Amino acid sequence: MAQVSLSNENWIEVVSVEKFMKILLDHVSCFDIQRLRKVSYQIRNCIDIIKPDPQIQSITIKGMNINQFDLIINLKKESVEIGYHDQQSICMISANGTRKHVASSYLSALLSDFVLLLEHQKSVLNELRFEFLYEAYFQVEHCGHGRYEEHNFLKEISSEFFEEFKRTSRCFPSRVEKLYMEVQHEEDLMKVLPHLDSNYLKSIELRSLDNSNGSVRLRVDQIVKLEQWKKAEHLIADTLVIVTPLQEMNLAHFTEVDICVDEITSDDVAYLKEVGV
């Protein structure tokens, strides 16, 4: 039996053939795609031409504390958690025991990777989640005259993050089936929801930013006018209080609604029966 061997140069030429690469890329994860890009510039160019689908199942962006956000990427058979740490003018990125530093803010570095991951995503994300560890955002401040006060910085940091998300993601609509979001204000929702493709979004789940029932009072006056809201089928918001009147919430199209409101009148009951919620 004859044995065939390829030199490194010949192997790279074979792998760089577009037809072969298409078959190969259909069977590798997004992390393997990034590893292949580093093998040679020929392979990298071929991958850029093919634009393979990374086939990401879900993504969670999680605020860990005042100086850290994590990006959790779930695939069919594996998941990876990447940490983005604020170190003044630079960002330290950690994953799988390795660390590297980039000359960027930690939010910019995180969202740049988020866009890069989804740039060629053809399949629909099952879920996009925004979570925050509320307790980790407390910090004691010196107020002078020997006085100290505990302050929670989550509202400021979450608002800054969602503003950065709005600027970063508005260049393309994300195909997401379910949105899970811990929020404080409608303004934060307006920085995310309009940038999700309304043709794919089926479920919206909103949670109180501080994880306590009833502490967040949320208006949805602007949100209910969006196509994303009008085409969604499931709405869950049972840990915060929605203060927009029920009859102004445009609920008729939802097949499932689980929300908390201040009060419900007889007119509201009649409205809910009429729309079949």
Domains of the chain: 1-52 (no CATH), 55-275 (3.80.10)
Q: Residue 138: how many CB atoms within 10 A of its CB? A: 13
pTM: 0.83
Tokens of 218: 């949320």
Say if residue 182 is exposed, middle or buried (CB neighbours under 10 Å; 0-12, 13-18, 19+): buried
Tokens of 271: 């409205």
* Residue 168 to residues 81, 97, 111, 160, 243, Cα–Cα distance (Å): 21, 28, 7, 12, 30
| pLDDT tens digits, 192-229 | 999 999 999 999 999 988 766 667 899 999 999 999 99
| pLDDT tens digits, 88-132 | 889 999 998 899 999 999 999 999 999 888 888 888 999 999 999
* Residue 5 to residues 2, 42, 56, 195, 220, Cα–Cα distance (Å): 10, 20, 35, 50, 65
Closest to 204 (Cα-Cα) out of 254, 154, 241 = 254
| pLDDT tens digits, 141-176 | 656 666 656 557 788 889 899 999 998 876 666 899
Residue 171 is predicted with a pLDDT of 63
Closest to 168 (Cα-Cα) out of 193, 192, 200 = 192
Residue 1 is predicted with a pLDDT of 42
Model confidence at 140, pLDDT cuts 50, 70, 90, reads low
What gap in Å lies between CA 75 and CA 31, rounded to an integer?
A: 10
| pLDDT tens digits, 57-82 | 999 999 999 899 999 999 988 899 99
Range 132-146 average pLDDT: 70
